[in-house]
Amino acid sequence: MQRINLAEKLAAVAHPWQPHTVAEFNGHDLMVARFQGEFRWHSHDDTDDLFLVLRGRVTLQLRSGNVELGPGELFVVPRGVEHCPRSDDGAEVLLMERTGTPNTGDAATAEPRRVL
């Protein structure tokens, strides 16, 4: 058991859209990531996707409309719902997904699992 300082972990994340696992919780990865610009439209058929904004602003684009998030706000994208995260000015985010979930929804195009 150890305490985790999210600011220290985020300082080690150099590039946007590359989540880094900082802890595991009941078969899920808790990850930190930097968002800058627009990601890509995707969905996760087998798991929900949790976004908690730590710094900055994030727009979760959904086919049914956008969800705007600021610091301290979170949103859970239900499994199977297509979404496209965007941050025009940059953001720092905590993510939670089932371990092994490809960040793009497709293992062939996903970032590798990185652990800090």
pLDDT, tens digit, 9 for 90 and up, residues 3-40: 999 999 999 999 999 999 999 999 999 999 999 999 99
Count of structural domains within the chain: 1
Report yes or no on 1 lying in a domain. Answer: no
Report yes or no on 74 lying in a domain. Answer: yes
Average pLDDT value for the chain: 95
Question: What span, in angstroms and rounded, lies between the C-alpha atoms of 45 and 80?
Answer: 4
Question: Residue 52: what pLDDT?
Answer: 98
Token output for 9: 């972990």
Report yes or no on 96 lying in a domain. Answer: yes
Residue 110 pLDDT greater than 90, yes or no: no
Report yes or no on 30 lying in a domain. Answer: yes
Residues 83 and 40: beta-carbon distance below 8 Å: no
Name, in order, each residue with C-beta under 8 angstroms of 106's C-beta and a sequence gap of 6 or more. Answer: 42
Q: Residue 51 sits in which domain range? A: 6-115
Report yes or no on 92 lying in a domain. Answer: yes
Residues 52 and 74: beta-carbon distance below 8 Å: yes
CA geometry: angle at 14 spanning 55 and 114, to 5°?
100
What's 52's domain CATH number? 2.60.120.10
Name, in order, each residue with C-beta under 8 angstroms of 46's C-beta and a sequence gap of 6 or more. Answer: 79, 98, 101
Report yes or no on 34 lying in a domain. Answer: yes
The string of pLDDT tens digits covering residues 56-77 is 999 999 999 999 999 999 999 9
